[in-house]
Structure 1
């Protein structure tokens, strides 16, 4: 091997090793509490970029120096856990008899109550076969109620008195009561509903945690951070400012999530179904806290990244359904067939477990 080839090989090997180290740091950043480390709260957003770069090195080494493939392969092995959170791979299973379909859907205020959007969403939801639908960032009126009442006998709502946001729960099962979680925190909207499913009470929690705090213009510019477009000074300054804003929002989400977890723990032994727009990716501290408490239905049963938010070329999965061990999830998916909101709906099936296994994560 001549000196140039040897030098090139060593440089590429070093670059691949650095990529693996950064991928590890980014992938496991969900262990950092944003209250203590707000600037690192959202580095998980760039995790898929490093997955792709590592894949590029793997392909390159397969075509050139095969022994160097051990470096990117080791990277994938070491990052298996965050990679599985971000883009799970699961065996497909048939949905068993007796399972019920559930859905979480941020409806983007029905496009400010636009009648055509209301009807499109109603047609989709009413025809979905879902027994329980939790909507976030909604509005509510007689028109909206009428659009769903033929299919859903039980409809309940909760309103944020600060910003007027409404959450809606549509159910084919009786809704017995409701409770506001974290009523002292105005930046989130979390409600718990007691639902009687086949004679057994289940607590259905509908959550919309603190938003990013970015304006629509800033969200449009935010993709430059993820792309690494730091070529000019103004972009660098704007990016740094937005990173600070995003970190502060992540910091505010922590007590919101902790409040929901305290509520769940107060209902120990009771079946729980949690739906929501977390405004946090699978590689985040808040998602990690909830996934330690409940089973993430998408990660457990689905395949692929499942992008649920798709506005301004920002593509992330921030919508979730989770369940206690009283339920077993099946075949969750993000449905891209309807494009009315800035979110796609997330749906799947759950069935009562025959026995409770200890939750592990």
Structure 2
């Protein structure tokens, strides 16, 4: 009788494991779904790491209780190799060659000026200066709380060339700081009330390189929404209320993704129109690694973090949302080295991401 019960238990666990794998595969490849047509599923990639952990728990179960059963979760991991590598790549660290250039992308959150006392050096500006990157792409670069003069005093001595672009009145400001001459600038047009993308041509040695700085549509979540989400993660919300709040958050995230889809397509269209040109694409995509947004823009590019990063690389770390939404990508004439998300500075709600690129 006990033997029969054990066999039934193993079959039930195997069934649950297979069901988990099916969902994991569907979620892992959900970045193929256009959010305009499927807004409710647009943020499915956010639950992918949860499914990975569940499959890992199944792996431990089979190792302990029935070793041959471990084939089930292993097959699941193999089927999801591509999304696993996209979400959490594991690469061997390599020393960047001396002739590589350093690229930094950072959503500076208005330089978090409210935390800087008069007379103090702004920590975000201090960090950017210390990194001494060759190209710096900033998002949310309005100097609220600190003056533009303080920004210029810190960065202008390091960067001879700079440009800022603002999306209308009250919209976002993105900035480019470069050690290389800026030859041209143009906006990549798409529908948005407050977000924007700029494309620049830089003269880097004997080559002209297109640098695209993105800040795509924000999630649309208020501080209250994020606070409620954080409480749900902690388990401080009743089941009925949590279900209601979850549906509301999914609707909001879906609506933002629906707006972001055409924006990503506009950027990808620009990249395709300039195929064959040397290109670096940076910025805050406001979407997770397994998303239509990231996949669409990365289609004809190398994702520097996937190719040379290590671990999940969480770049947004505020209010219970922990996910990589900041990116650096490049055309195939560059080799990326040691792309990192730097969690040593917590002044902004984003961590900076940087990478070294060497011409092939």
Structure 1 and Structure 2 fold alike (TM over 0.5): yes
Structure 1 segment 59-208 matched on structure 2, within 5 A: 59-112=60-113, 115=116, 119-140=122-143, 141-182=148-189, 184-208=191-215
SS at match of 1:76: helix
| Aligned counterpart in structure 1 of residue 334 of structure 2, from 318, 327, 336 | 327
Displacement, 1:17? 1.1
* Alpha-carbon distance in structure 1 between the residues aligned to 2:161 and 2:216: 25
Displacement, 1:227? 8.0
Are the structure 2 counterparts of residues 296 and 123 from structure 1 closer, same or farther at C-alpha, using a change threshold of 3 Å?
same
| Aligned counterpart in structure 1 of residue 257 of structure 2, from 230, 250, 257 | 250
Displacement, 1:156? 1.1
SS at match of 1:311: coil
Displacement, 1:184? 4.9
* Alpha-carbon distance in structure 2 between the residues aligned to 1:6 and 1:46: 31
SS at match of 2:290: coil
Can you list the C-alpha shifts for 1:316-349, whole angstroms capped at 9, x where unaligned?
0000000111221111011111111000000010
* Alpha-carbon distance in structure 2 between the residues aligned to 1:129 and 1:214: 34
| Aligned counterpart in structure 2 of residue 263 of structure 1, from 254, 264, 270 | 270
Do the aligned residues in 1 keep the contact of 2:171 with 2:195 (CA within 8 Å)? Answer: no
Displacement, 1:8? 1.6
Displacement, 1:228? 9.0
Are the structure 2 counterparts of residues 224 and 5 from structure 1 closer, same or farther at C-alpha, using a change threshold of 3 Å?
farther
Counterpart of 1:317?
324
Do the aligned residues in 2 keep the contact of 1:113 with 1:139 (CA within 8 Å)? Answer: no
* Alpha-carbon distance in structure 1 between the residues aligned to 2:139 and 2:4: 61
Displacement, 1:118? 6.3
Counterpart of 1:358?
none
RMSD across aligned C-alpha pairs, in angstroms? Answer: 1.9
Structure 1 segment 206-355 matched on structure 2, within 5 A: 206-223=213-230, 232-353=239-360
TM-score (norm. length: structure 2): 0.93
Are the structure 2 counterparts of residues 67 and 247 from structure 1 closer, same or farther at C-alpha, using a change threshold of 3 Å?
same
Are the structure 2 counterparts of residues 291 and 319 from structure 1 closer, same or farther at C-alpha, using a change threshold of 3 Å?
same
Displacement, 1:206? 0.3
* Alpha-carbon distance in structure 2 between the residues aligned to 1:9 and 1:2: 11
Gaps of 5+ in 1: 354-361
Can you list the C-alpha shifts for 1:201-256, whole angstroms capped at 9, x where unaligned?
11111000000111011012235677899852222112111111111110100111
Runs of 4+ that moved beyond 6 A: 224-230
Count residues with an aligned counterpart: 353
Counterpart of 1:36?
37
